[in-house]
A = this chain, B = another copy of it.
C-alpha cells in the first residue's frame, strides 16, 4: 500500500515541518532577528511544502514523486541556511531538513 511504502518519507516530512514551524517562531525571539530573515522565510516555505508532500504520498498521488523532488530542493536550501546559525532550533531544523531531503530524493527516484 502506497501509504506504507512511503511511511518513512511521510514521517520525515512531518518531522521537518514541525522543526521548521518551531524554528521560524524561535528565530523571531532572537536578539538579532534581522539576520534570521532568510531563515524564517525558508522555514515557512519548507514547512508548507513538507506538509503537502506528506499528504500527496498518503494519497498515493500520481504526482507524489514530482512534489517530493521539489520538496527535497526546498529542504536542502532551508537546511543549508539553518546550518549557518548556531542556535539549537536552527541546528535541529538543519538536521530535520537534511533527513527529509534525503528521504524525498529517494522517494522521487523510486521506480
Chain A residues within CB distance 8 Å of chain B:
1-3, 10, 14, 17-19, 21-22, 24-25, 28-29, 33-34, 37, 40-42, 44-45, 47-49, 51-52, 54-56, 58-63, 66-67, 70, 73-74, 77
Contact = CB atoms under 8 A, between A and B. Distances in A.
Given A28-B41, A33-B33, A21 B66 contact: no
A13 to B, nearest CB: 9
Per DSSP, are chain A's interface residues mostly helix, strand or loop, or mixed? helix
Given A54-B14, A55-B17, A28 B24 contact: no
Given A3-B18, A63-B77, A45 B41 contact: no
17 contacts: A3-B22, A22-B60, A24-B44, A24-B59, A25-B41, A28-B41, A29-B37, A33-B37, A40-B40, A44-B44, A45-B62, A48-B52, A49-B67, A51-B55, A52-B52, A63-B70, A63-B73
